Structure 1
Amino acid sequence: MGVETRRQTEEGRAAAEGLLRGERLGIGGVHRPDQPVSWIAFDAEIRRGHFRWDVAPRAADRIEVRLCHPDGRIREAALLAPKPPLPLVAIRCTDWAPAVRERARQVLAGALAADPARTLIHLTPLVLGLARREQGRWARDLFEKVLGAEDPVLSPWWRPARDARWWRPGRDARTMTGEQPDTVLGWLRRSGDLPTRRFATRITLDAGLFGVRELARRAGEERDPATARLWADAALAALAGDGPDDEAIDALLRGHIPMVRAGGVTALRRAGRHAEAVGHLADRSGLVRACARWLVKQGGGDPYAHCRALVEDPARVSGYAVTGFAECARRADAPLLRGLLDHPTGAVRAAAVAGLRALEATDVDLLRPLLDDPSAAVAREASVSLAEVAARLPAEWLLERIAPDRPAHTRRAAYRVLHARGGVIGLRASVELLTDADPALRRIAAQRVQSLWSPYRPPALPLRDPEVAALLDRCTGLFSEYVMGRMRSQLGIPRTASGPTG
């Protein structure tokens, strides 16, 4: 459960608990649920409250309580009330009782016919969330049918954000365009709720409302990968059917999502713009770089030569350029990458370390000093490479680098190598960090100590070793008494602790 989902769930439960205690729902009382997940949690909490028999007398007659009552006859009767809360009506459309379900569907269909714009905008996220239930497809199909047949127009004086606090478009959607949407689909496409945005996008594409340039523009500006893919696939299909369009291709090439930019790079071929592929060889995405190398080949060029030229040019070299070069480099290119380990830019140094690792050209003497590099990215990449040859590094030298006076990224990098080294040295480092001031290091160390235990094999530690026994005494708080006893037995250590527990 994500943080936002957990927050919405707690909001719904709090509203239900307050109502069951007899507090008013609305202004001056408990907050009315205003998120899709909140309404679902509200419904479940009201029902649990009834089973606990702790419903306040003045709350029992509330329409919200009756719509969530465990007794199906009470829920069905509550649906006859004037203007029942539509979110709860939508939930009742998935009710297990056929009579309740049919009555709720009549009410929802009536609300949709009377005010389609407001109903669609307020309930679409909830309806999509309920569609996963056994009886949840009905409302989703109804909403899709209405939107597919005719996109309701919004009244100029009404804006959903005023009526529903949760419906303000997300930051990404707001920055997509300065236009003010005037239809329901326009609002749904800008929703901060991602399933809703994708739902509206699919309906829009099925209706064929936009041309290739608008499809490409929306693909380029979209930040949700799934939605961007819908727009991009439609734009590429239109380009394939109608022929190249430079403006549409340029919009794809400016996309936020790698898949969109990759589509733009491949579209350059049919447009006869092979030469532009070189400009994408240092893209931040590996997918885009691979497409650019493919296009360079299609145009008769040599992607390796172009990538090498980027790396050798001080004015154009970058971390992504080095990464792109490493993706097509050969073992003979290792000296060029080693020469970049002293580059003033941390991203270039880090990419050079990763590139040498990909070429299986790790040089321990060159990489050891990089554990102390001021760049966290460089120290991290160096530790990943050195972890493969951890046994060749002096243990005391590594242990010095997890001391509290070292930079945090240096300590994490050195600890990664120490853990890869394993044995007593790795355990000693982990135990030392169990009480460290850095919470991240404490958590990682605890997890790595706990990973020693397996019921099927003994820990990779020497048998009957006094130091191992002393180290285990310092981390007994991480294991149950039974597990610690089993580990000691596996290692030939007496079960009685010889030192303090912690």
Structure 2
Amino acid sequence: MIRDIDGGMTAATRLAGGAPLETTLDVTDPGDWLALDAAVREVAWYRGAAKPDGHPSLPLPADLDGFDESRLALALCHRNGWTRQGAVSRAVRYPRLLPLVVVRSADWAGPVREAARQVLRETLDADSAVRVAPLLLRVGRRERGAFGTELLGRVLRGASREHVALLFADPDRNVRRFAYRLAVDGGLLGPAELARAAVGDPDSVVQDVCATAALSALGDEKDAYEKDVNEEVLSALLSARNPRTRSAGVTGLRRAGRPGRAEPYLTDGSGLVRACARYVVRQHGVDPADWYRRRCATADTPGSTPGATPGATPGPPPGAVIGLAECGDRADAELLRPLLTHPDARVRASAVAGLRTLDCVDPRQIRPLLDDPSAHVVREAVTTLLPGAADLPSDWLAERTGPGHARHVRLGAFRLLDASGGIAALRAAVALLEDQEVKLRTWAGQSVQRWHPSPDLWGQNVEEVGELLDRSRHLFSDYVLIRRKWEAGLRG
């Protein structure tokens, strides 16, 4: 694989010496062809000349008739437009040089470009189109490259399903996007196949294209065969790990006339899926806010959670807690506050996030959660307390940045101290500059570098500020250090 211009120059030199293509570059990798094309023009082409960096010259006579495949590949990349144009017409005899003809179809020189395009019109068939599709699409992003993409589409629209399917597994996501769009437009895949592609492909664009097409193809539930197909489509989409694909399946439940099946997704871990589920159940006459309230009101009733397994922690699922905040009102905060002490950390974290969503945060209730054993809960607590960080007791926060506390507690406390600013933030940051925890040490250094005294504190604690800045002088240039001291009220 050619990874850079130097690798391309090495490949060009070997081709000039007669080395065969397959031993010089990966003929299936579009990046290798593009690197070779770029590298050849970096080499001095004048006979007998050599570049200062040691790369030899690659002399190419004007008469190309006696060229073998390797040297014709170099001629297709030549600086001289007449040489490139002459090489294009001779490349027809060497099918493995088709990728360089693709590159020339977007050439800046009109005669070269038109010659290459004519060769592609005459020679590109389904087999060769599949082989050069990744390169055609990459060249298609160039200023004059649209021709190749359009030609690829025309050829593959007349090809068999098997040819297009070969592109579904291409490692290049742009190739898979092109192939699936082509398959959707041409009706090459059935609804169940599209649903499986939406679930199986890692690319979000492919997922959206296939999921949307699968849902559009849902049939009449009254027909037994169509009902089975619908079930296969919906089951696949609803089982997807990706929330966007899963949400498409939930939305499809309404189109299929099965809104009641959306209820379990009201507590999904994804906000997008929960929103889609709420939309669907509303069409079924269910008020999602009341549904959530009933689940959250069962927090103190052991075993009352629907579907709870024996021995499981009683109470609402975390998705019900945050779901209530998403569609409820401020009065629902009374249902969420008791959940701040729930045994399940996921429920506690959702309760904090829910109160923040409802704008019903009481810092006195959230502050104790900064010591929570769950890092997830502490992150939610910190996010909730950040807007009022300046009102939190700095000594209380500084004590929690010490080595006697859990890592996530120390990180959370320092985030709040840093947001509060002032001398307390500088004091805590300087104290952590040599901490054993790498992340804290890094954050502390960044905090010191961006620290500035607030105008209302100008001239206060100047001696301590000077001492703290001197302890961290390795983070500043001399000019910046003097400037920072001057901002704090220090002279000289």
Which deviates more, 48-57 or 130-139? 48-57
Matched, 1:102 2:101: no
Residue of structure 2 equivalent to 1:352: 351
- Given that 2:41 and 2:78 are in contact with CA atoms closer than 8 Å, whether structure 1 keeps it comes out as yes
Aligned residue among 104, 127, 130 for 1:121: 130
Deviates more, 1:478-487 or 1:400-409: 478-487
Corresponding residue for 2:187?
Answer: 208
Does 1:44 find its partner at 2:42?
no
Partners of 2:324 and 2:114 lie apart in 1 by 63
- The residue identity in structure 2 corresponding to 1:328 is C
1:462 to 457, 463, 467: 457
Q: Which moved more, 1:214-223 or 1:55-64?
A: 55-64
In structure 2, what is the Cα distance between the partners aligned to 1:123 and 1:459? Answer: 62
Asked if 1:15 corresponds to 2:10, the answer is no
Q: Provide the rounded CA distance (Å) in 1 between the counterparts of 2:241 and 2:13.
A: 49
Deviation at 1:86? 3.6
| SS of residue matched to 2:124 | helix
Question: Equivalent residue for 2:206?
Answer: 227
* CA deviation map 1:286-337 (0-9, x unaligned): 1221122222222222211211233324437322222212212333332432
Distance 2:27 2:454 in 1: 51
Q: What is the 5 A alignment of 1:253-402?
A: 253-311=238-296, 312=298, 313-314=304-305, 315=308, 317-402=316-401
User: TM-score, length-normalised on structure 2?
Assistant: 0.79
What whole-Å deviation, never above 9, does each CA across 1:82-106 have from its counterpart, x for those lacking one? 5364433322222212233233334
How far apart, in 1, do the equivalents of 2:402 and 2:276 lie?
Answer: 45
Q: Is the Cα contact below 8 Å between 1:22 and 1:58 reproduced in 2?
A: no
Structure 1 counterpart SS, 2:458: coil
Q: TM-score with structure 1 length normalisation?
A: 0.78
Instruction: Tell me how far apart the structure 1 counterparts of residues 59 and 349 of structure 2 sit (CA, whole Å).
Output: 65
Q: What is the letter of the counterpart of residue 133 of structure 1?
A: R
Q: Which has the larger radius of gyration?
A: 2
Q: CA deviation at 1:55?
A: 5.9
In structure 2, stretches of 5+ residues that fail to align are 46-50, 61-69, 299-303, 309-314
Deviation at 1:140, TM superposition (A): 0.9
Contact 1:12-1:33 at 8 Å conserved across structures: no
Change (3 A) 1:365 1:38: farther
CA contact 2:433–2:441 (8 Å) conserved in 1: yes
**Match of 2:252, as an amino acid?**
A
Percent identity (aligned): 41
Contact 2:244/2:272 (<8 A) preserved:
yes
Q: For each residue in 1:125-148, what CA deviation from the matched residue of structure 2 results, as whole angstroms up to 9, or x when unmatched?
A: 222122121111111111111011
The answer on whether the counterparts of 1:13 and 1:38 sit within 8 Å (CA) in structure 2 is no
TM-superposed CA distance for 1:68, in Å, is: 3.3
Q: Tell me what 1:174 maps to.
A: none
Cα distance change of structure 1 residues 96 and 271 upon mapping to structure 2, 3 Å threshold: closer
Q: Deviations over 1:226-248 (max 9, x none)?
A: 11211222223333899884413
Deviation at 1:348, TM superposition (A): 1.7
Whether the aligned pair in 2 keeps the contact of 1:12 and 1:42 (CA below 8 Å) is no
Find the aligned partners of 1:50 and 1:438 in 2 and give their Cα distance. Answer: 54
Q: Which amino acid aligns with 1:198?
A: R
Task: Tell me how large the CA RMSD over aligned residues is.
Answer: 3.4
Q: How far 1:195 sits from its partner (Å)? A: 1.0
Is the contact between residue 26 and residue 32 of structure 1 (CA under 8 Å) also seen in structure 2? Answer: no
Is 412-421 or 85-94 further displaced after alignment? Answer: 85-94
Counterpart in the other structure of 1:71: 80
SS in 1 for 2:457: coil
